[in-house]
Amino acid sequence: MKQITLKIILFLLLQISGCSPKDPDTSPFTGTWAFRLPDGYPVWLGVEPDSSVTLLWSIGGANPVTDVVLNDDEISFYRGFGWQPFGKKDTFLIRKPVTGKLIHKDLLRLTVYQTLHGVQDTLVIEGKRMPPLPVKPDLSKVRFGKPVDLLEEGMDGWIITDPDKINGWKLEEGILKNESTKTNFSAYGSYGNLRTIKEFHDFELTLDYNIPVRGNSGIYLRGAYEVQVVDRDSRMQGIQGPGAVFNRIRPTGNQGKAGGEWNHIRIVLVDRHITVVLNGTCVIDNEPLKGCTGGGINADDTLAGPILLQGDHTSVMYRNMLLRPVCKE
């Protein structure tokens, strides 16, 4: 009884003094962090309250790392991999732990020890802490503005994200086509992705897409979150099936059509939550977006961004692209 009483007194003294007992499971690194590589592509880092760490590097998925060490203002972790800057042929190997230091509570500096042709170099990138996810929005109360026809200006409203890539895009009779010779699912390709010059924050986007058999494309919202565009029978199923948020959110079912058929998709992005309706069926219902997806051009959840269409994979066609921005009070 005496021990319990002493604990209560200590707690009250701490509360009065403006302090509180430190939770051993909390860390100044907990949360998500957004970085940008020298080639303009993103790095995303997620640190959970249990000190597990997930890393997304430019392309691919967000994957867990190992050998995590967390101190008051320093972090280190290991994930051996190689990365190829977009537009380059060289591949950097990372075989040593990545280290990080808090510059202040919302700014993290990472040092990456990378090797190219046997020569070690260091890459230093700084990232900022992302704000916590907003509460789930009540979509019945969200108002959308006048539709913006993303194809109204023709190709003048679009640019290739990497001018060194082959531009396979053209607009014919209201259909935006990517004519790529690539037929596989490999991460890198010689053809370019296409983005709107205009940037948007929250919105509703509707469009039709036509993907060939075994085709692969994607629709990036704000240049950050990819909604997967594949045919009904694609081998990229599971969490990467038709209408999925690539490597993030699994659709409730496969509502895609066979390769070569037109699909209609409606996407709503509000307060970092996403709804996807594919061919009349809701396959993602107002689900939170934890972070960016691989292949995008931005990891910062706070920024507006373009609609970006993946063209560095296979051929694809898009039409009837209408975007209605959210009306802010």
Same domain, yes or no: 200 and 229: yes
């919105």: which residue's tokens?
203
Rounded-to-10 torsion of CA 154, 156, 160, 163: 140
pLDDT grade, residue 238 (50/70/90)?
Answer: low
3-state class of 63 per DSSP? strand
Same domain, yes or no: 223 and 77: no
Same domain, yes or no: 220 and 72: no
Same domain, yes or no: 166 and 113: no
pLDDT the model gives residue 245: 97
Structural domain of 295: 139-325
Same domain, yes or no: 182 and 290: yes
pLDDT grade, residue 237 (50/70/90)?
Answer: low
Inside any domain, residue 276: yes
Domain end, chosen from 129, 154, 183, is at 129
Inside any domain, residue 16: no
Residue 295 to residue 143: CA distance in whole angstroms: 30
Please give the mean pLDDT across all residues of the chain.
89
Inside any domain, residue 3: no
pLDDT the model gives residue 236: 74
Work out the number of other CB atoms within 10 angstroms of the CB of residue 131. Answer: 12
| Strands 81-83 vs 74-78: parallel, antiparallel or unpaired | unpaired
Same domain, yes or no: 155 and 207: yes
Same domain, yes or no: 78 and 97: yes
pLDDT digits (tens, 9 = 90+) for 140-179: 999 999 999 999 999 999 999 988 889 999 999 999 999 9
Residue 22 to residue 25: CA distance in whole angstroms: 9
Inside any domain, residue 134: no
Number of folded domains that form the chain: 2
Same domain, yes or no: 162 and 297: yes
Same domain, yes or no: 41 and 62: yes
Same domain, yes or no: 43 and 177: no
Q: What is the pTM of this model?
A: 0.89
Inside any domain, residue 13: no
Inside any domain, residue 310: yes
Same domain, yes or no: 264 and 154: yes
Share above pLDDT 70 across residues of the chain, in percent, rounded to a whole number: 91
Inside any domain, residue 6: no
pLDDT the model gives residue 39: 86
**Strand pairing partners for 263?**
209
Domain end, chosen from 129, 164, 190, is at 129
- What are the phi and psi torsion angles at 31 (to 5°)? 130, -160
pLDDT the model gives residue 103: 96
pLDDT the model gives residue 29: 96
CATH number of the domain at 35, please.
Answer: 2.40.128
Same domain, yes or no: 152 and 284: yes
pLDDT digits (tens, 9 = 90+) for 1-55: 444 443 333 333 333 333 333 344 578 999 999 999 998 889 999 999 999 999 9
Share above pLDDT 90 across residues of the chain, in percent, rounded to a whole number: 74
pLDDT digits (tens, 9 = 90+) for 213-229: 989 999 999 999 999 99
Inside any domain, residue 292: yes
pLDDT digits (tens, 9 = 90+) for 271-307: 999 999 999 999 999 999 999 999 999 999 999 999 9
Burial of 1 (0-12, 13-18, 19+ CB in 10 A): exposed
Taking 60 as the threshold, does the pLDDT of residue 134 lie above it? yes
What mean pLDDT do residues 63-68 have?
A: 95
Domain end, chosen from 101, 129, 157, is at 129
Residue 21 to residue 15: CA distance in whole angstroms: 9
pLDDT digits (tens, 9 = 90+) for 91-112: 899 989 999 999 999 999 999 9
